[in-house]
Structure 1
């Protein structure tokens, strides 16, 4: 059972055309925003999906580096090696800080079972908590039929356990709008000590639903993301039960 400070109390669209084969848009540091409204995708349920896997280079660890320097060693019988630090159990969680037009603020996240509601405020619902990085990952739904009630949503990812490992995972957050291509944001920057990452902001700007890439890593948890973006919530200690 882990412990962290992460339990809540109380312009013009510019984007990368993406990969035609997969019909997706990749938001990058230089091309960092897209308008769902201009794509006729600002209604229905917006699906937000987090998936991750260990980086291939880290799965082999020092052994891979040795083979690159000395290729003939690959012909020798494999050595039996113990459990290394690189083989950690990574538990990435998907969450969302929300602010509604009426001033209501809060969080949707697995920690504390703040799973939200898709048909009532905050119109954001987390489907569950994937602790093992399965193929389906974690999924959150945003009901854009109530977009007039939404001011801004900050989608974030954090590492629940006490082992920072963003540098050893390849995580991707993908938006699946009701219409048009999916939108991908890769968390592929090596930030070995970071525990949380603000991934994207979904914002209602003059009745236009904009998605903006953030990808800002912090060394703390939700409380630090709150301070970075000025949410103003009060935070306390939170737990996850063992499975």
Structure 2
């Protein structure tokens, strides 16, 4: 069985599948309401019937079943899925959990232990994901999703939390949710004669103010979702780190008297299935005006540049991008992640900068997967990864990219 980290994905077996959402019995928790949304390429349902949950259990390609106490001290909801019966319009099946009665009980996902989603076939468990603990009072969670890839299906670990409940989450996927209670309208007031007045001048709409607040992604707050846009503009990704001087303890960061060479790059996956890598190694600097719509500005080999290294993403073509895994790589110099004080900052026009710091790294590993930028049904989601690897191929395997790697160099 493959156990995924947030943002990772893995193929699942062909044929019928069982998706299990389970959690530990928790004092004060009434129920976790699990749901499956059958989504098209636009990330929305085609009708309300495409939401499968306790109130609409389905009877065709996807069927819901509750299994309370299926193992001691644990509860579960199960979705039985006949992938061959899913219509072609269904490109993804998203699985969510919301806390029943959260408003009354004050319960949220930060208080629930043992949340887990797994995908099983007739041969047994295939993929599992344990979302990291939520810390911002989230009462709704998109846990994971199945999505089509070529002739088969893959599972992606999502773990995206929301502070709203099932109604808001369903509405985000295009389900028309009716309010639980609608107050009767008050009687219409009797019209009163009024003196004629001149029409008010048209007032232009107030533009949305620019958000200048910095967002630091941490273990406690691992991701952020931006407002959905058709055009994200010129997105920049910056890698910066401490500049060490020769001699003394700072020499641990250097080789041959020069500064450490910390490289910025990314793995990319486009919505048409194309995959690749943008990095200085092998002179794969990318392109902005056509695929992959990502490009490095330059390669700072000495660390002498005050503002580090830059990579740009053409946000006008964000609909063509599925995901970008931003990484940092120690090309030259003795690995010492703590002393680099490395930070990656993503800047999107109109939004506050989003930063991820590289911490507690293993000095035996020269590669750090720093952040994952994903296209979540048109929304840009940025997630903290900060996972360390010995090289590109190990990182590729962990995130299920599927590239073939060979030794490379810089000219």
TM-score tier by shorter-chain length is: 0.7 to 0.9
| Stretch moving more, 106-115 or 181-190 | 181-190
| Selected match of 1:120 from 284, 290, 295 | 290
- 1:35 is displaced (CA, Å) by 1.2
With the length of structure 1 as denominator, give the TM-score of the two structures. 0.75
Residue 207 (structure 2) pairs with residue 37 (structure 1): no
Choose the corresponding residue for 2:213, options 7, 10, 23: 23
1:236–1:201 distance in 2 versus 1, CA, 3 Å: same
Alignment of 1:1-243 (within 5 A): 11-12=160-161, 23-37=213-227, 43-54=232-243, 61=249, 85=252, 87-88=254-255, 89-133=259-303, 134-161=305-332, 163-218=334-389, 220-241=390-411
Q: Which has the larger radius of gyration?
A: 2
How far 1:45 moved relative to its partner? 1.1
Give per-residue Cα distances to partners, 1:125-157, cap 9 Å, x unaligned. 110101122212100001111111111100000
Structure 1 stretch 195-204 or stretch 130-139: which is displaced more? 130-139
Deviation at 1:162, TM superposition (A): 5.8
Higher relative contact order (CA 8 A, sep 6+): 1
CA RMSD of aligned residues (A): 2.4
Shift of 1:111: 0.7
SS in 2 for 1:120: coil
What per-residue deviation string (whole Å, max 9, x for no partner) do you get for residues 141-180 of structure 1? 0111111111110000011126322232111101111112
Mind listing any 5+ residue stretches in structure 1 that lack a counterpart? 1-10, 15-21, 62-82
Higher helix share: 1
SS in 1 for 2:342: strand
Contact 2:370-2:387 within 8 A present in 1 as well: yes
Q: Distance in 1 between matches of 2:344 and 2:253?
A: 23
Structure 1 residue 237, shift from structure 2 partner: 1.0
Kindly tell me the number of residue pairs found equivalent between the two proteins.
200
Does the 8 A contact of 1:154 with 1:202 survive in 2?
A: yes
Larger mean Cα displacement after TM superposition, 195-204 or 42-51: 42-51
**1:198-231 Cα distance to aligned partner (Å, 9 max, x none):** 001001112221001100011x221111111011
Partners in 2 of 1:138 and 1:86 — Cα distance? 18
1:99-137 per-residue CA deviation (whole Å, 9 max, x = no partner) reads 001010000000111111111111101101011222121
Q: 1:13 to 1:97 in 2, by over 3 A?
A: farther
> Where do 5+ consecutive residues of structure 2 fail to align?
1-159, 164-211
> Matched residues in 2 for 1:179 and 1:55: separation?
34
